[in-house]
Structure formats: C-alpha cells, structure tokens
Amino acid sequence: MEESKVQSAREWPMWRKVATVFVVASFSFFATFAASIIAPGRPQIESELRVSRTVSIIPFSLFNLGLGWGTVVSSPVSESYGRRRVYTVAMLGLLVFVMATGFSHGLASLLVTRLLGGFFGSPGATLASATISDMFEPGRARGMALFCYYSMPWLGSVLGPLIGAVVVAYYDWEWTQWVYLFIAVPVVLPGLLFIRESKQSVLEAKAADDTSFKDRLKPQLLARGCVSFVKELPEFMSTSLLRPLEMLFTELIVGLVCAFAGFNFGLIYALVIVLPDVFKSTYGFDTIDQGLAFLGLIVGCILGPACLLVDNEIVVRQAARVEEAGETPSPETRLHGAMFGSILLPIGLFWFAWTARPSISYLSPIFATVLITLGALTIYVSSSAYLIDVYGPKYGASANGATSIARYTMAAIVPLFILQMYDGLGTGWATSLLGFCALALMPIPFCFYWWGPALRSRCKFQTEQ
C-alpha cells in the first residue's frame, strides 16, 4: 500500500477527533481517580492492618510513584508500537490491579497491587497529549483540546476523595475499589473499542507490512523481533530514562519547571490527605462532610480550563500578528497562565492558613482551596506548553517526561509527612510554610518571561535543534 493511501489522524472527521479527545481524557481522569479514591479509607486501613498512620498512607503514595515512573516506559513504547496498543494494555492492567487491591487483606499485597496499578495507569494519565498532537495541527483547536485534557487528571485527583468519603461512610475501604470499577468499566472498555491508532509512523508501517498474525508467531520472526529489541534497548534506555534525568539536572529551565510542578502536585496530593483531618478537628465534620470539603478543589479544576482557553485565544492572536510581521512568536507568551497562577497560589494558601479556625465559617477555607487549585493548575499547564515550545518535537517529550517524574515523585513523598507537619505546627503555620514555599517559587515564570531568550541560548538541548 502506498504511503499516500494511509489516512492520517489529522484527516479524521471532526466528530471522531472530539470523541477521541473525550475518550483519552476519560482515561487520564480514571488514572488519577484510582489514585485518590482510596484516601478516605486510610483510617480503616490503619485499623484493619494494625499499622502506623504513616504506613497507612504508603499505598496511596506508591500509586503516585507508579504514575510517575510508568510514563518513562510507556511514552517511548507508544512511539514505536502505537498509542492504541499501549492504551489497551495499560487500562486493562489498571482495572485488573484495582480489582486486586479490593481483594488485598495484607499490607504486602496492598502495596504491590497499588504500585502496579499506578504503573499501568500512567499511560492513561500522560499519553493523551501525544494523541491530541497526532490529531490536531498546532493552533487554536489543539490548544482547546489540550487544555480540556490537562484538567482531567486534576479533577480525578480531587473528585476521588469526595466519592471515597461517601463510600467509606457506609462500607469498608475495599468498596472504594468496587465503586471505582462500577464507574470506570462502562466508560473504559467501550473507549478502548472505539479509539483508533493515531501515530502516523505506526500506521504507515502497518500498511506496508502484509505479514499475517499467524506468520508473526513463527519462530524465525519471533527470534528476529527479539534480536531487534535487544539492539534497540540501549537507545530506548537513553531516550526514555537517561535523557529526561539528564535534562532534569543539567537544563536550568527544565529543573526550575520541575521544581515548581513537583511542589504543586505534592501540594494537591498533600491536601487530599490533610483536608479531612483539618475539617474534622476544626469544624467537627463527619466522613461525608469531609468529602464535601473537596468541592473547592473541584471548582478550581473546572475554572482552570476556562481561564486557560481565554489565555490561549490571546496567545494565538498575538502569534498571528507576530507572524504577519515576518517574525517568530516567542515561547514566553505561553507563560501568562503560569504568572497568573503563581500569584493566586500563595494568596490561596495564606487565606486557608488563617481562616481555617472555629470562629470563621468553614466556607472561607473552602473558597481558599479554589484559588489554590486554580493557581496550581494554570502553572502546570502553562509551563508544560512552554517546555514543548522551547524544546520542540525532538526534546519536548523528554522535558515533559522529566516533569512527570518530578510531579508524581513529589506527590508520593509529600503525603508521607504532611500529617506530622500539621500536627506539629498547627493548621495556620503548616499551611503558611507551604505559602512561603510558593512565594519563593513565584518569581520563576516571571524570570522566564523576562530573561527567557538569554536562558534558552544557554540550553544545550534547545540549541541542538
């Protein structure tokens, strides 16, 4: 078959593109939803397994660790073998290990199933941006699709504790896993049947290869495939693992973005753990009310894409004017959302710190969490778009791979000590400490905006393009 007869994903009808965006965005939602829905069951896990409070958080943290490091493998595999195969294996694996978690009654089995669940859920959380790039040309449509997708992992992270709180109020913690499956299976399985392969190079290779499935199972072809895999393994390790880590520690722009993104994700997942305790001790909330305390975070996740879509429209129009003048648009125009969010984040943290007290309505700290989530989300999305524009198609995936490792590693570590920090410092000063950290990080997007061209000229990977 000639290459010209292979239909590109960018030639699909718009209805299929929109439906595919919905499907892959739902995959990202269910990946992080699985991470956080178990959080309200932490006290029951502590009591049932007779472990310490810190140990009872480890299953939650291990899932996040799997989300971060799973993308190191899944992203390059999807480039070679296709998005659809990775989605199918990953999402089915996620459902299997969520079910296995529900059957776990020992600490060891619980830890293993949670870690593997996160590992298999990782492509669902991170691969959608590549699929969207396969379908849409750079421009307004791609920006709208990406911004809608980027909010879904955050929404899953903060909606999970609300649903989980309602479940554990009436049933054992294992039922959080069954409820997850009741919600996810009717969406995920039809989604896997609907999506098509979108990676152009994989489509062309498949069209050019007329080998039947039966022939692929012959020993000669299997041996040839194994030899090819062994030969490609060093390059695979270099591009998927070593390059993101090298960029993390040698590229100033990547390192600073990872620091800010890691702090934001660690903060959000810290709130998933600490909010129920704060509202229980301060306002006497019961289990269901503790879940409703996450409504502020949910509203922030909904407002985020709306703000980013407005910003995207401004960026697109500004880029059009620059191109009409015969110049190249600057990547720094992508940082408007990050600058906006870096101001909102410390405001929300200090607001929460000193209004979460019995003499002030519980609505005040809940409103503060709207600003916290809105700020963190706009920082993350804008900085991710900035990295793609700075490092281009060759190194942009590795740069975002570094941020993924940083984000979910911090999301795994911070919850392990956040309860002790709040016990020792109290709600006011513990949250203020987080606010001071946000203040220290606030200048990063402004520095990029003002001195970005000078910083980019010193970037090894950026200047190699």
Q: How far apart are CA 34 and CA 449, in angstroms?
A: 36
Q: How far apart are CA 387 and CA 397, in angstroms?
A: 9
89-103, 146-160, 398-412, range with greatest mean pLDDT = 89-103
Of 170, 193, 222, which one is at a domain's C-terminal end?
222
| Pick from 69-78, 184-193, 231-240, 351-360: least confident | 231-240
Q: Which two tokens mark 458?
A: 């010193």
On whether both 211 and 317 belong to a single domain, the answer is: no
What percent of the chain has a predicted confidence (pLDDT) above 90? Answer: 27
Domain assignment present for residue 464? The answer is no
Q: The domain that contains 251 carries what CATH number?
A: 1.20.1250.20
What percent of the chain has a predicted confidence (pLDDT) above 70? Answer: 88
Query: SS3 of 52, please?
Result: coil
pLDDT of 186: 94
Q: Which of 39, 261, 275, 241 is nearest to 157 (CA)?
A: 39
DSSP for residue 437: H
On whether both 363 and 435 belong to a single domain, the answer is: yes
Q: How far apart are CA 88 and CA 189, in angstroms?
A: 9
On whether both 151 and 271 belong to a single domain, the answer is: no
Domain assignment present for residue 227? The answer is no
Residue where the block lists tokens 């410092």: 425
Task: Tell me what the pLDDT averaged over the chain comes to.
Answer: 83
Q: Which two tokens mark 153?
A: 């992992």
pLDDT band at residue 465 under the 50/70/90 scheme:
very low
Of 222, 251, 276, which one is at a domain's C-terminal end?
222
Q: How far apart are CA 38 and CA 401, in angstroms?
A: 26
Q: Which two tokens mark 246?
A: 């090298």
pLDDT of 218: 59
pLDDT of 464: 45
On whether both 289 and 208 belong to a single domain, the answer is: no
pLDDT of 125: 83
Q: How far apart are CA 347 and CA 345, in angstroms?
A: 5
pLDDT band at residue 438 under the 50/70/90 scheme:
very high
Task: Check pLDDT > 50 for residue 460.
Answer: yes
Task: Give the range of the structural domain holding residue 32, as residue numbers without chain letter.
Answer: 9-222
Report which of residues 453 and 118 the model is more confident about: 118
Domain assignment present for residue 264? The answer is yes
pTM score:
0.85
Number of domains forming the structure of the chain:
2
On whether both 430 and 395 belong to a single domain, the answer is: yes
pLDDT digits (tens, 9 = 90+) for 213-241: 455 555 665 566 566 656 665 666 665 66
CB 167 within 8 A of CB 176: yes
CB 113 within 8 A of CB 104: yes
22-31, 324-333, 386-395, 452-461, range with greatest mean pLDDT = 22-31
On whether both 217 and 267 belong to a single domain, the answer is: no
CB 37 within 8 A of CB 175: no
CB 35 within 8 A of CB 119: no
On whether both 29 and 52 belong to a single domain, the answer is: yes
CB 356 within 8 A of CB 430: no
Of 175, 196, 222, which one is at a domain's C-terminal end?
222
pLDDT digits (tens, 9 = 90+) for 108-149: 999 999 999 999 998 888 888 878 888 887 777 777 887 788
On whether both 199 and 129 belong to a single domain, the answer is: yes
Task: Check pLDDT > 70 for residue 211.
Answer: no
Q: How far apart are CA 122 and CA 396, in angstroms?
A: 18
pLDDT digits (tens, 9 = 90+) for 254-307: 889 999 989 998 898 888 888 888 888 888 888 788 888 888 888 998 888 888
Domain assignment present for residue 422? The answer is yes
| Pick from 56-70, 124-138, 391-405, 436-450: least confident | 391-405
pLDDT digits (tens, 9 = 90+) for 141-182: 777 887 788 888 888 888 888 898 889 888 888 899 999 999
Q: Which two tokens mark 452?
A: 């970005």
Domain assignment present for residue 31? The answer is yes
On whether both 211 and 70 belong to a single domain, the answer is: yes
DSSP count for the chain of H helices, then E strands: 19, 0
- Which residues, at least 6 apart from 318, have a Cβ–Cβ distance to it below 8 Å? 329, 333
pLDDT of 350: 95
pLDDT of 52: 87
